Structures are given as structure tokens and as C-alpha cells.
Amino acid sequence: MINEEFNDSIKYINKFINYEPDIGLILGSGLGVMAEDIKNSIIVEYEKIPHFPVSGVEGHAGRLIFGELDGKNVVAMQGRSHYYEGYSMQELVYPVRIMKLLGISKLLITNAAGGINHSFKAGQFMIISDHINLMGENPLRGDNIVELGPRFPDMTEAYNKKLIAIAEKAALQEGIKCNKGVYAALSGPSYETPAEIRFLERIGADTVGMSTVPEVIVARHMGVEVLGISCITNLAAGILSKPLNHEEVIKISKKVKPQFKRLIHGILKLL
């Protein structure tokens, strides 16, 4: 049976909207600017939605925005919560559950990530082809809600191949440099050590971050098609000699704002 908490959240949100969104967007650190382009927008603050997690991290506004983007009905998460903030896995993926129950069939997830692949440069983008979960936890641990998905969901194609092809085509049309590779997720909040980065490189990771993977697992559990895009905001520890800081992440995210918007618009137009 669907959890009463889900029903509370849906009931509150439905006070503001009268349609089902087709596409969900999760806008990561410094990437919430995409929400500016949503037409006929309806804004619902996270803190007012029953049971909804609220992020306190800089660069995460903390609100759901409903409206139209490139002819599609969308719901955008302008900011997300993180495992390192103290939330349980089940709490931090709660918004994805809600977006699916509201009607989405596709989810576009963005994040800020550290580049491990030596051919990557800060300010570039990477389409996620696969991920490695090193967070030490899985959001599906515990009782399974059979109405939402199977006990043992398949993750062979966590990131939808058709959506990846669309993203590659959009990047080409827009003239935007877009890499493709594997995203590794760690719990954070500390950045990785150079030794950890060498380990991640050896096991096949191209970028590293502190989000995305839990949301993807839950989205796939519920049958939602996923596209993931990382904004490479810095090169990981040990690849460059300078120390890492969150201010640099926000700075690079703001710098690539025009390209990021063009890429997302290009993808949505092709859907």
C-alpha cells in the first residue's frame, strides 16, 4: 500500500497544479538557473511540502517549479538534499518518488562533479553512461513497496541509451563539448584524497560526486527513464595540485550557465 506520507505530499502539491508533468529535472549545485526559463511557472517551496527534505547547501534554492519548457510539461527540483546532510537514503530520494507519483516518465538529473579522466577539463559536461555506487548504502534497503517497483530492480541500463543518444545529438547541434563516461558516487562531505582518486580511476570512474546515484536507483525502481549529465566543475584531488573548495564549484557552474541552458533546451526539443 502506498505510504500515507506520499499521499500527504501529493495532496498538498495538487493544490497548486492541475496537470501531470511529463519530465522531471533535478538541477544540481549552481545549475538551478535552468528554472529561470520555465514558462507559466508555479513554485512550491520544499519546506512547505509535508515530509519533503530541505537542503541547506549553497547553490540549492530548495523549491519545486512546475511549468512548460520547450513544449513539455515539467517539474524541476531547484536544488536537492544530500546524504552527507544527515538524511537517510529513503528521505533524500523522497522527491523522486513524488515526481513519479505526480506523473513523470523521464528524469533528467544534473550534478556538479570532479573530473577524474585526465582528458576532461573544468567547465565541460559529461553524459553519464553508467555509475559506481560507493556511498555504502542503497535507497531500496528495507521493506519494498510493491506498488512502486520490484524487490530486485535491474540496473543493466540505469541510464537510458535512447536519451543518451538524444543528449549527444543535442550537444553536437549546439556545438557544446560533451564527454561521456562513468560517474562514481561517494557519501561526502569531504572531498576525496589523491589515493582515493587513483583508486576510482583504476576501477573505471571518469567523474566523482556526492549525489545522483540514489535518485537514479529509485527512478529505475519505479520504471522512470533516466538521463544524467555532470558539469565538471573541478579536476579531482591529485590531478591538479591546488586544494578543492565549494566556492570554485559554484563559480564554474555560473560560468557555464549559457552552455548548460543551451544543452538542456536542445535535449528537451529533441524529446
Active-site residue set: 29, 60, 82, 84-85, 112, 210-211, 234, 246
Q: How far is CA 165 from the centre of its chain?
A: 18
The number of C-alpha atoms within 13 Å of 58 and in the hemisphere containing its C-beta is 9
b vs e for 122-159, b when ≥16 Cβ sit within 10 Å of the residue's Cβ?
Answer: bbbbbbbbbbbbbbeeebbeeeeeeebbeeebeeeebb
Cα 23 from Cα 265, distance rounded (Å): 13
How many CB atoms are closer than 10 A to CB 33? 18
Task: Name the grid cell of 205.
Answer: 570512474
